[in-house]
Amino acid sequence: MRTYDFSPLWRSTIGFDRLFDLAETAQRAGEDNYPPYNIERLGDDRYQISLAVAGFAPDDISVTAEQNVVTIEGHKADQTEHEYLYRGISARPFKRQFNLADYVQVKSAAFENGLLKIELFREIPEAMKPRRIAIDGAPATNVHQLEGKAA
């Protein structure tokens, strides 16, 4: 048994739809591993996805950023002018999707030395950052002076 049925959990949870979608996607992650890729952390809020796309030109690849998903598609135009005796460099069409965490956005994409590099950054909106709430009626400090006799 390699699949899990999450339908009983759908009935008893609210707001966790995306979590279950991610779990189902993780189950299917081992199906296709083309093109190979790396995910790196460049800083606290910076990341980079690198895809090895040898044989593709920048015009053959499209990068689409939607809400919480970045999709990379590659399609090489058929060139019948070559007669290959052995073809080890794959040029098959591909579609690779990466689910992004909340507030992670695509900053840029660059193509160099056969690698497609996509930079991501996480920027939490000011309204979502934690903030200190003042309590009315409380003293300005938490220090209370105790009464004591003068010496």
Find all residues with CB under 8 Å of 4, minimum gap 6, and list them. Answer: 23, 27
Write the burial class of residue 17 (CB in 10 Å: 0-12 exposed, 13-18 middle, 19+ buried). Answer: exposed
Residue 44 and residue 109 in one domain: yes
19 close to 44: Cβ distance less than 8 angstroms? no
Task: For residues 75 and 97, state if they share a domain.
Answer: yes
Does any domain span residue 140? no
Q: Which of 116, 120, 123, 122 is nearest to 96 (CA)?
A: 116
Give yes or no for a cis peptide into 125 (omega within 30° of 0).
Answer: no
Q: Is 139 within a domain?
A: no
Question: Which range marks the domain in which residue 24 is found?
Answer: 1-31
How much of the chain exceeds pLDDT 70, in percent?
68
C-alpha dihedral over 21, 23, 26, 31, to 10 degrees? -70
Q: Name which residue leads in pLDDT, 26 or 14.
A: 26
pLDDT tens by residue, 104-130: 899 999 999 989 999 999 888 888 788
pTM listed for this prediction: 0.65
Domain count across the chain = 2
Residues 43 and 75 in one domain: yes
Give yes or no for a contact between 95 and 24, defined as CB atoms under 8 angstroms apart.
no
pLDDT tens for residues 29-82?
555 678 999 999 998 889 999 999 988 999 999 999 998 889 999 998 776 677
